[in-house]
Structure 1
Amino acid sequence: MKHLSKLLVVALLFVGFNSMQAQDENNPWQVQFGVNAIDVYPTGDVSSFGNEFFNATDHWNILPSISFIGVSRSIGDGFSIGARGSLNKISKFGDDAVDDLSHYALDGTIKYNFIKRETVIDPFIEIGGGYTWVDEIGAGTVNGGLGFNVWFTENIGLTLQSNYKHAFEDYGVKHFQHLAGLSVKFGGTDTDGDGVYDKDDACPEVAGLEAFNGCPDADGDGIEDSKDSCPNEAGSMEMNGCPDADGDGIADKDDACPNEAGTAALAGCPDADGDGVADKDDECPSEAGPSANNGCPWPDKDGDSVLDKDDACPDVAGTVANNGCPEVTEEVQKQLNDYAKTILFDTGKATLKTETVSVFVDIIKILREYPQAKFTVEGHTDSRGSAKLNQSLSEKRANSVRDFLIKEGISADRLTAIGYGEDKPIATNNTSAGRAQNRRTEINLIK
């Protein structure tokens, strides 16, 4: 048994100094020092333990100096492991007075703190084992105790504790040991020096504020930098930490017009005329117009209700149905053919007679009034001669008229030449008057 108790003590001390690896609390180390009181009464009557503990302080042995020192380290979840050494002088052995006997003890401890957070009153329970020498007679003990810390600051407090130490050997001394002393906690790491330990510091390498778990708020707007879209400019929570100078609900960093209240649709810029074009890009900011025309209304120079952009004849009033161009009426068509019928050719040829040139002045004037209209130039003959020759002659005469008009500035794509020969008479070919009417040129609108 004697060897077993020594082995237990050595094992506990080894655990106390070598198994302290985990660090899951701030200031994991705790050092205690103070005075201890040894009470070796009672020795066998268990029922009297309570009375003697509270009332028989006259049985206590106290050395009036620092008489114990202990060290422990947190290993997480409220548990700590440590070691404690103490010394005393025994002059009261129960009811008996004895010569001063030396008392030495070395104990390994396992402590459990009930409250796992920072608190002023910090109760705990402790178990362990050790070895106690009384006047050079040593015995192993198994220990159990209760106590509490009273923390004056985060690191300094008062510790009060009572342990019962049960000796293994029959010659060992069973006794209470009461402890009172100062405790100092240390060992917490605060890399950035902001007062928040690294364990609880979300930004351990950057000085910050306790309110933000150690993270900084560079612009002082109450929003930590990691959640602040504008960490160097004070802003509001609604703007994710960014300023909004014009109060339009759009953060300045996203606002194309930060000093003028605007709309989100226009990136924070105003639109006075409501046309969807920001005033800064609107060439007509007080007059609504499409973005395609830089915010200005489309013009209608000829006033025909067809906008110039859609008006095939922007300088000439026309109709909506004809894309803004004037329409060739039946009256105009008749007038055009009245002129066309007076076009004269040399007999049996496609060459224009000189006196016919003046007729073209009126024809060209009409064609120019309808710049988008397209026409057929039709050639017709009487029935004298062969049908083949008449067909050829009508085609040549139609092309002769078309070529003349093109030469005078009428667009070629507006004119198509067609020869009908003798196929479409408008009078009888049995009289010279009828044949004269059938020999004609017509200019007809292509519909």
Structure 2
Amino acid sequence: MRASSVLALLGAACIFSSSAFAEEYKEMRPYFTESLTYTFGDSERNADDAWGGYIGLGAALTEYWGLEAGLFYQAFPMGGNSDPNRWEEWGVEANALYFYSRKPSFSPYFKFGLGTAWTDLETPAGDADTRQPFYQAGLGFMSAFKYFTLRGDVAYRYTDAKFSGLDDFQEPQLRLGIAIPIGKAEVAEADDKMTAPVTDSDGDGVLDDRDQCPGTPRGVRVDAKGCPIDTDGDGVPDYLDKCPASPAGTPVDSSGCPLATKVDRKFEDVNFGFDRFDLTDYARVTLDKTAGEINAMVQKNPGVRIEVEGHTDSIGTNEYNQALGVRRATAVKDYLIRKGVSGDVITTRSYGETKPIATNDTAKGRLLNRRTEIRATSE
């Protein structure tokens, strides 16, 4: 068969197959394939062109790349000059396929690969058995019909055939055959989509087949899934949320507003030196932590109130210690305000020496009594 005739047959198959199917889904199933092969023999073979066959398995690796491996056989009949040769070849090959498109109607691809051929050579001078590696590159197509896929490709094959004084073989090769996909196709689903137009029942801009929240009221802003936007993530969509900036993780009511929870929390005491109301370094570290916790509590529950109580030991008069307790409570309040706590939620009170928590008969006990207590409460 002349090369121009085979090329014309392959071209006609490509043109005919482009209108075989109208589906737009991507064909990604593994497949079994078998093809008729025609190889234009290199003149170094001193033989006629070869007919043969190929069987293989293929699979998609990604949307664009595929891998195929198979077995082949071909025979070059005696021909050429007065001392013709006869070749029989069988072997294995593996090819990488790069698909321009995965549409079943027409999937063009490039291929490149390698393999090994075992050869039985008959010559007038005697016979020889050899093995040669080869490399190939080409292009082809696949086109799906109802029960099978038509495929064809043309490749240029380079064979390392340096034996018995021969040079390398450089041979064009044509294949035309079928592929049988393995697994269930998506045709039924595609047909349903074509015969049943998809609508947008609630008019939110997301079609019903992708809308996870059908029935959204008109005019409500939605996300890509068709569900109402919930900016603060509290489970209440913005169009119903009366408190749209609730802190993350805050329990809310049906209106999206934080639930009022009762608070009764006592923080670490702040201790002072004898007859002093200035803050020590340790006291500042303690109040930094306390201020952060208070700010978080107030943000979640605006009803939280902070009470700061000043206390003293028993040394000195009652009147002096009452005033000293006021100064200590005020010092703590001023520091908390500097750390971001609103002064509107803080109240101060002095108990002087009236509420000791330890004995005033020892230095350690008096140190524990020289303190400021901080408590958070809410209704």
TM range (shorter): 0.3 to 0.5
TM-score for the superposition, normalised by structure 2: 0.38
TM-score for the superposition, normalised by structure 1: 0.33
Larger RCO: 1 or 2 (CA < 8 Å, sep 6+): 2
Q: Which has the larger radius of gyration?
A: 1
